[in-house]
Structure 1
């Protein structure tokens, strides 16, 4: 176990920049980052249109113990997103309606947990967005120290406190705090390019021509053969 610690006064990104990032989807931002930062796809939203963008408050817990989640809420600020990792794989319900009520009272926007979540109907009714590894009614204890606001690995991705977490129906992506402005610019450029491509596709142009894929097919030896000749 890492040193038991609660790190306070973690640097956060500029709220205006986080708001700008929130306008883009996870897939677009992931591509803008050079296909980096995407958490593993087993982390799924508990309701289909869940969306969140905010600064990460990271929590490292022993499996089956959510003591440090309670400790983390004390150091949360409005606009934060809780990111919970465990020292070993866990499927227990680490977070539920009462913790969400407490978290929301302190301005927490949502949760990413590499373990279980419970009270899903209540959380969905609250519109408290959660991305979790699984759903489990199995509860936890509050007995063992962990750590808050240290680097953690959640969903196979290293997340540092203060990184920006963006989540939607496609999953969750982590954006480094210090690269946020550049990522937004790259996402904007990618979106403009996709909008132009969408117009061409809607007008009937083929992706084969827009993306220059005919030459690739030819290089790979793909032949166009009439059905009658193929049957022969």
Structure 2
């Protein structure tokens, strides 16, 4: 497998990345029309952390982390490293030493559709990671790959410079040219949710706030007392 290392790709504006960092993954995913969500198998190794940054992408051979070493040089402040492999892998391709090098360069975190190791050390360093597996299995450095090319994670395209937002709920990718639009849509959705939250705290039901009683009726869902239900034999 040969490859290419692309230098200086375009990136989302830093101000738009910071705006998106103020919202949760679920909010942004919904605000973008339920698009951009990366596979649910990508789980955080820590809890209570949210990060946003611009993607530096890596396409590697399974069990080979050579291209992660190459990618470190292309990473800078505000980036998030996004790694996938040419076929499924759970090998521990990333650990404490990589995190140390990336933190020195201002990288905000890792998303890897493969395995990580040294998870206790990563948490102690404060370097957040989302991975498909945790495994002590070691890797080699023997095969070429690519850095800063479009990659696919679970059928979802991630391009270098796109915005990656990750928290306890998962990971979402926002196309770099839509970052400002996504931030505005997320703000509107959060305001709508705040109004709903206040209504629920006052005792309003979702059935009424969202007009769902009519939907139940249209679907043929009926109300009946326990006595009627039992008399008809359904509650036996």
Q: Same fold (TM over 0.5)?
A: yes
Matched residue, 2:192: 193
Matched residue, 1:33: 32
Query: Which has the larger displacement, 114-123 or 5-14?
Result: 5-14
Alpha-carbon RMSD: 0.8
Matched residue, 1:219: 218
- Separation in 2, partners of 1:40, 1:131: 11
Asked if 1:202 is matched to 2:210, the reply is: no
How far did residue 156 of structure 1 move?
A: 3.3
Query: Structure 2: which 5+ runs fail to align?
Result: 232-236
Taking the TM superposition and a 5 Å limit, the aligned residue runs for 1:118-129 are: 118-129=117-128
- Separation in 1, partners of 2:91, 2:139: 7
Taking the TM superposition and a 5 Å limit, the aligned residue runs for 1:97-116 are: 97-116=96-115
Matched residue, 1:183: 182
- Separation in 1, partners of 2:148, 2:195: 41
- Separation in 2, partners of 1:52, 1:94: 21
TM value normalised by structure 1 = 0.98
Query: Structure 1: which 5+ runs fail to align?
Result: none
Matched residue, 2:230: 231
Q: Which runs of 4+ in 1 moved over 4 A?
A: none
How far did residue 106 of structure 1 move?
A: 1.1
- Separation in 2, partners of 1:58, 1:216: 45
- Separation in 2, partners of 1:192, 1:153: 32
Matched residue, 1:160: 159
How far did residue 225 of structure 1 move?
A: 0.3
TM value normalised by structure 2 = 0.96
SS in 2 for 1:103: helix
Deviations 1:104-157 (A, max 9, x none): 111111000000000000001111110000100001100110000000012431
- Separation in 1, partners of 2:138, 2:125: 20
Are 1:151 and 1:161, in contact at CA under 8 Å, matched by a contact in 2? Answer: yes
SS in 2 for 1:6: coil
- Separation in 1, partners of 2:49, 2:198: 28
Residues 155, 107 of structure 1: alpha-carbon distance in 2 compared, 3 angstrom cutoff: farther
Are 1:43 and 1:155, in contact at CA under 8 Å, matched by a contact in 2? Answer: no
Matched residue, 1:148: 147
Deviations 1:71-100 (A, max 9, x none): 001011100000000000001001000000
SS in 1 for 2:136: coil
- Separation in 2, partners of 1:102, 1:12: 22
User: Between Structure 1 and Structure 2, how many residues are aligned?
Assistant: 231
